Amino acid sequence: MNPGLGLRFWLRMLGLGAALCLFTAFVVMNLALKGGEVTLPDLRGKAYAAAASELRQAGITLKMDDERYSNSQLKGCILQQDIPGGTRIKRGRTVYVVVSMGSATVSVPDLAGLSRRQAEILLQQNGLNLDSVTLVPGEAPAEAVLAQFPEAGSNRAQGTGVQLLVSLGPQAQRWVMPALSGRALETAQAVASAMGLVLKDVAQEDRPGAAPGSVLSQSLPEGSPVAAGDALSLVVARGRADISKARLATLRYQVPDDARSERRVRISVTDAAGSRVVHNEMEKPGSLVSVAARVYGTARYRVQLAGAEAEEGEIP
């Protein structure tokens, strides 16, 4: 065997072995490097403590960089992360996050007595919303806030909706107008007074065969819907000397300025023609009520405020 050929053979084998070792070392090193990376998950919406535990097992450190109020995430949940989810990072890396402090809270203002528009503006100024409005009849002026939920002074998250109970205003009771023709004037006056109608005028007319003082016609038709405060005029058969001469009197009443809302003022007169209501309406505090009433003979007036006796006296 040629000694030169044997030497070259072994040199070639030695070179192949060295190359194989280098290749193996490269593969092992590459695998080792890849094994030191992890894919960072999307941490938004996760509880900070749970996310920190999850990353710790992957060799990643989680640290809180800041806290902020949020209406979209519960307190303690992650809002932002400095490295986006899906990024491959090396083990031992630190990830910084912003954590939610929950919703900012505000004190619910007192809305009772305000108008609906005023209440809505005040809610907006305090970072709250108007949720729903329920309208109900009441003695308070129309559009006035009667109640609210949540209650005044309670703490709620910004953006919370507030429910309101709002007044429709005083609602006059509705009646069906009865027939007064043929009835005595005193009876007709009593019916009108009981219904809260305002008897504005009583005229006389000659009617052969009609009982003196009986009602011949009425301004509000029989069967029509009427409400307290509606004006009624009557025509009666002539024949009563005590109501043959009438005069126009002006009655005035100053509503006390000691309340926040309107109250019903009811003014009635009693004269030779009987008793009747001449004014029956809601009036504002401090307002002056002036009523022109036709009266017969000796006459007196009576004023009721919100159902209570307020004033009475003679009509000159």
Whether 311 and 181 map to the same domain: the answer is yes
Nearest alpha-carbon partner for 97 in 156, 36, 45, 56: 45
State the residue range of the domain holding 156.
105-167
User: Which one of 167, 182, 203 terminates a domain?
Assistant: 167
User: Which one of 85, 100, 115 terminates a domain?
Assistant: 100
Phi and psi angles of residue 15, each rounded to the nearest 5 degrees, phi first: -65, -40
pTM of the model: 0.40
Whether 199 and 89 map to the same domain: the answer is no
Whether 179 and 239 map to the same domain: the answer is yes
For residue 294, the domain's CATH number is 2.60.40.2560
Cα–Cα distances in angstroms (integers) from residue 45 to residues 70, 81, 235, in the given order: 11, 11, 82
Nearest alpha-carbon partner for 100 in 127, 66, 53, 128: 66
C-beta of residue 276 within 8 angstroms of C-beta of residue 193: yes
Whether 189 and 135 map to the same domain: the answer is no
Whether 192 and 297 map to the same domain: the answer is yes
Give how many domains the chain has, as a whole number. Answer: 3
Nearest-angstrom CA–CA distance, 289 and 267: 10
Q: Residue 137's pLDDT is what?
A: 80
Whether 181 and 296 map to the same domain: the answer is yes
For residue 129, the domain's CATH number is 3.30.10.20
Nearest-angstrom CA–CA distance, 246 and 201: 10
Q: Which residue has the tokens 């939610």?
A: 100
Q: Residue 240's pLDDT is what?
A: 56
Whether 26 and 128 map to the same domain: the answer is no
Whether 219 and 233 map to the same domain: the answer is yes
Chain centre to alpha carbon of residue 32: 66
Q: Residue 28's pLDDT is what?
A: 39
Nearest alpha-carbon partner for 268 in 289, 285, 251: 251
Mean pLDDT (10-residue bins), the chain, 316 residues: 54 57 45 67 93 92 91 88 93 94 88 93 92 85 90 88 89 83 84 84 86 89 89 85 68 89 88 81 90 83 91 91
Whether 192 and 271 map to the same domain: the answer is yes
Q: Residue 8's pLDDT is what?
A: 64
Whether 39 and 23 map to the same domain: the answer is yes
Q: Residue 18's pLDDT is what?
A: 53
